[in-house]
């Protein structure tokens, strides 16, 4: 049996593509191991999958001066030493990194020990962790065609591969009727699904609730609002279902949704595309991020898959109008999604991994 170490963490977007690869990797004859942090979301998501999990130390890679950077140097060095020890123990044939702070020392250690590395970049503009990892990778997979302009040197030396993002197979098995039962919805009105990312979004929560009465005149609203995000004053409101965190029920919620309001993390966007769900995207502002969600959202808007509202442009009138316009155009949007060659990247990523091993 061949062995592969998966790594990536920090947010669900750095983890769920790894989880999507697992069934296909098992079919291809791999024993699978995972390296992440001891307390990150990756550990919670990997638990119960029958995969050996190795926790390591990780330092946050800040883009600004902070005294915590000094402490993080120690954490990074510790994580690097732990990664070397784990890789020597497991003796993997390949390491696959999905990014996030925890992945960097794993990639460095693999390169030091002569283990081939494949990394995957989800966003249009590569994040800091992947930029630090790219020089040590044998192959670089990327999701958006626009990313190629950031990977010029790797395209020229034939290391870069356009694959899309691996999508969890279970998302395709949802049942709309089950989703409606979960939410207590009938069939008389369309369903608006609202999501704020794996950690929820206070901004989107407030935006939806500020116009909830208007939305409920047209839609039934399923609101995935994040841990601690439930508004008790709205419990029992007809046509409005609040869910803190969607796990096993998520495929059914997607299946019942006619349109979706969401942040614009890359993994979410490619899931919506694969499932043919028109979306209104509200990207994180540049004040709260490096601007990756803004670029992702503009890409999907340009391809006709999504509407986009910046946080600065969200007000009661613009929000309600955008959601209704999105619903009215949904059939044309779904048609464009069906015609797109961008979709589930699972098989393409696994092929990159297998082709790399054949050539070694």
Q: Is 126 left (phi over 0), alpha (psi -120 to 50) or beta?
A: beta
Q: How far is the C-alpha of 345 from the C-alpha of 352, rounded, in Å?
A: 11
User: What is the average per-residue pLDDT within 341-345?
Assistant: 86
- Whether residue 200 has pLDDT greater than 70: no
Strand pairing class (240-243; 160-162):
unpaired
pLDDT of residue 73: 81
- Whether residue 221 has pLDDT greater than 80: yes
Task: Give, rounded to a whole angstrom, the gap between the first and last alpha carbons of the chain.
Answer: 16
* 245-265 tens-digit pLDDT: 888 999 999 999 999 999 999
Q: How far is the C-alpha of 97 from the C-alpha of 59, rounded, in Å?
A: 16
Average per-residue pLDDT for the chain: 93
* 108-156 tens-digit pLDDT: 999 999 999 999 999 999 989 999 999 999 999 999 999 999 999 998 8
List, in order, residues 6 or more apart from 102 with CB less than 8 Å away: 7, 8, 9, 10, 35, 36, 37, 40, 42, 56, 58, 79
**Which domains are delineated in the chain?**
2-166+345-358 (3.40.50.2000), 170-339 (3.40.50.2000)
Q: Which of 247, 197, 200 is nearest to 228 (CA)?
A: 200
What is the number of residues in the chain? 360
Q: What is the pTM of this model?
A: 0.90
Alpha helices in 48-201 (DSSP H): 68-90, 101-112, 128-133, 152-156, 176-183
Confidence of residue 93 (pLDDT cuts 50, 70, 90): very high
> Are the beta carbons of 14 and 265 closer than 8 angstroms?
no
């Amino acid at each position: 049996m061949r062995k592969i170490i998966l790594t990536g963490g920090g947010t669900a977007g750095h983890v769920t593509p790894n989880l999507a690869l697992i069934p296909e990797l098992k079919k291809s004859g791999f024993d699978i191991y995972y390296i992440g942090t001891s307390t990150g979301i990756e550990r919670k998501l990997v638990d119960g999958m029958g995969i050996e999990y190795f926790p390591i130390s990780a330092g946050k890679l800040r883009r600004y001066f902070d005294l915590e950077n000094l402490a993080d140097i120690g954490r990074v060095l510790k994580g690097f030493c732990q990664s070397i020890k784990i890789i020597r123990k497991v003796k993997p044939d390949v390491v696959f990194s999905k990014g996030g702070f925890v992945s960097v020392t794993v990639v460095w250690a693999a390169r030091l020990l002569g283990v081939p590395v494949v990394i995957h970049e989800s966003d249009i503009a590569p994040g800091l962790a992947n930029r630090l990892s790219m020089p040590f990778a044998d192959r670089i997979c990327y999701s958006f065609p626009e990313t190629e302009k950031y990977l010029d040197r790797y395209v020229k030396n034939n290391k870069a591969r356009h694959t899309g993002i691996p999508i969890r197979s279970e998302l395709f098995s949802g049942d709309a009727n089950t989703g409606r039962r979960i939410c207590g919805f009938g069939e008389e009105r369309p369903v608006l699904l609202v999501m704020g990312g794996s950690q929820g979004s206070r901004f989107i929560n407030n935006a939806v609730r500020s116009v909830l009465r208007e939305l409920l005149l047209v839609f039934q609203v399923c609101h995935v609002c994040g841990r601690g995000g439930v508004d008790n004053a709205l419990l029992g409101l007809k046509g409005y279902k609040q869910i803190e965190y969607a796990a096993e029920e998520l495929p059914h919620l997607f299946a019942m949704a006619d349109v979706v309001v969401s942040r614009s993390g890359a993994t979410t966007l490619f899931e919506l595309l694969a499932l043919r769900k028109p979306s209104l995207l509200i990207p994180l502002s540049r004040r709260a991020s490096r601007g990756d969600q803004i670029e992702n959202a503009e890409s999907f808007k340009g391809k006709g898959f999504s509407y986009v509202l910046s946080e600065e442009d969200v007000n009661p009138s613009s929000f309600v109008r955008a959601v209704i316009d999105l619903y009215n155009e949904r059939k044309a949007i779904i048609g464009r999604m069906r015609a797109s060659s961008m979709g589930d990247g699972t098989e393409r990523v696994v092929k990159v991994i297998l082709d790399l091993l054949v050539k070694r």
